[in-house]
Amino acid sequence: MAKVQKQARDAAVPRSAKRAQFALWAYFAFGGGAYAFWAVHIPEYEERFGLAHSQMSLIMLLFGVGAFGAMQIVGPLIDKVGSRTFTWLGGATLGLSVVSLGLANNPIWLAASVLAVGFFMGSMDVSMNAHSVEVENRFGRPIFTLFHAYWSIGGLVCAYLGSLTLAAGWHAPQTLVLYGSLIAIASALFRLMLLPNSPSHQAADKTEAKQHAAENRRFLPYVYILGALATAAAIGEGAAIDWSPLHLKTVLHASESLAAYGVFAVSLTMSIMRLVGDRIVERFDRITVIRWGSGISGMGYLIALLSNNIPQSLVGWAIAGIGVSAVIPQFFGLAGNIGNPTHQGRNMAKVVGMVYVGLMVGPAIIGGLTTWLPLNVALLTGAVLFALVVFGMPIATKLHRQLIPSTPTETEASESTQKDA
């Protein structure tokens, strides 16, 4: 019976939404792949340019600076123009910036390229997440986590390819130039499959626009609390991807090619869990998934960092990937449905932007701590931050209840449905 209902529900989805879903899978994969290729080559850049961990952390900081700046610019433009244009443009320019990253032959060029990669990835990220909300609404059921599964799949494939190419003697100039060119060309082609631009900020006059803005301001405390908790989770996720290769190499003395499997372990489990994540969200709710996922990820951190051998550490990083797999997608899903629809792009930009602040601040925090602490001790910051998310989500839930007293929170709605069943 359930299978028949699912088939009927899928048949009712417009073909345009299915085409857009396929295109978005590609854009998410491009972003995850670009991030993984960069992470895999961080040890290479450190060694080639003679950079210390703290110096590389400052360069990594520029990624978040560029992404956050782009989101604050693009968010309002999405409301006025639509998310389609900035999704494909962000993808095409991201590809060109990855080419520049591959060609970097000195620390200044490297820093400028990382800044550009962050800026254009941020543009694409907030746009494709806003477009994903539109597509999910047309499907009429949770599909948001699956989009992020393709980010992880892209990261998984490119982390694996990165380890293979490093072992074969290939380096950043070959791999990043080739991959960046692929992203630029494919992004321009996939734009034909996206939904048409549907700008949401179309007030009839200034009075109506002010009313929309006033209505949305009521939800800003909730937006910022979600953003703060998402930032904590992002620091933990980013540290697992960025620093797991360096942890394996410097603490457990793995080879450069073997250390790259730290990224692979995180990306593999994230990919698998995100493929089934929407079913878990349907069964429970977004808030419950965020809390439990954060707790599991924190446990994975402890296993990875307290182990004294490479296989056990890889298991820990894999568990961290399982836990964090559905956390960030649920924060974005909540953000895309807050307040007045005319401010969807802005609200999304705030939360996604704060996530990138986490990606920006996280490497700097870890790198700075390594000045006084061993790397495996500094990385315990990730476990602490996931604990903060576990205990912070009830505060967000309470605030949501106060803002919309007549509407049950997701947890309450889920509990009510289960009782009725």
Q: Which domains does the chain have, with CATH numbers?
A: 17-197+213-420 (1.20.1250.20)
Mean pLDDT is highest, among 49-53, 103-107, 159-163, for 103-107
Average pLDDT, the chain: 85
Give the count of alpha carbons within 13 A of 249, CB side only: 22
End-to-end Cα separation, the chain, in angstroms: 16
Calculate mean pLDDT across residues 54-70. Answer: 85
Does residue 1 have a pLDDT over 70? no
Average pLDDT (86-112) is: 94
Average pLDDT, stretch 70-93? 90
Q: What is the pLDDT of residue 8?
A: 60
pLDDT of res. 421 = 44
- The mean pLDDT of 140-148, rounded to a whole number, is 88
274-283 mean pLDDT: 89
| Rounded Cα–Cα distance for residues 205 and 77 (Å) | 18
Nearest by Cα to 146 from 265, 345, 298, 280: 280
pLDDT tens, residue by residue, 222-251: 889 999 999 999 999 888 888 888 899 988
pLDDT at 318 over 90: yes
pLDDT for residue 229: 95
pLDDT for 420 equals 46
C-alpha–C-alpha distance, residues 271 and 245, integer Å? 18
pLDDT at res. 289: 93
In angstroms, the Cα distances linking 122 to 66, 76, 88, 90, 237 are 7, 14, 12, 8, 17
Confidence label for 60 from pLDDT (cuts 50, 70 and 90): confident
Write down the pLDDT at residue 216: 66
- The DSSP code sequence of 273-287 is HHHHHHHHHHHS-HH
Confidence of residue 416 (pLDDT cuts 50, 70, 90): very low
Residue 263 C-alpha from the chain's centroid: 15
Question: What is the C-alpha separation between 300 and 268, in angstroms, rounded?
Answer: 14
Q: What is the pLDDT of residue 209?
A: 60
- Using the predicted structure, report yes or no on whether residue 178 has a pLDDT greater than 90: yes
* Tens-digit pLDDT profile for residues 187-215: 999 999 999 887 655 554 566 666 666 66
Q: Which token pair is 287?
A: 């808030």
In this prediction, residue 418 has a pLDDT band, given cuts at 50, 70 and 90, of: very low
What is the arithmetic mean of pLDDT over 380-394?
93
pLDDT band at 219 (very low <50, low <70, confident <90, very high): confident
137, 163, 164, 174, 365 from 171: Cα distances, Å: 42, 10, 10, 6, 28
Stretch 366-389: mean pLDDT, rounded? Answer: 89
How much is the pLDDT for 114?
A: 94
Q: Quote the pLDDT of residue 417.
A: 45
CA distances to 73, 91, 139, 195 from 134, rounded to whole Å, are: 20, 19, 9, 9
Looking at residues 412-421, what average pLDDT do you find? 46
Query: What is the CB neighbour count within 10 angstroms for residue 382?
Result: 30
Which of 7-16, 201-210, 272-281, 288-297 shows the lowest mean pLDDT across its residues? 201-210
Average pLDDT over residues 361-375: 81
Q: Is the pLDDT of residue 404 over 80?
A: no
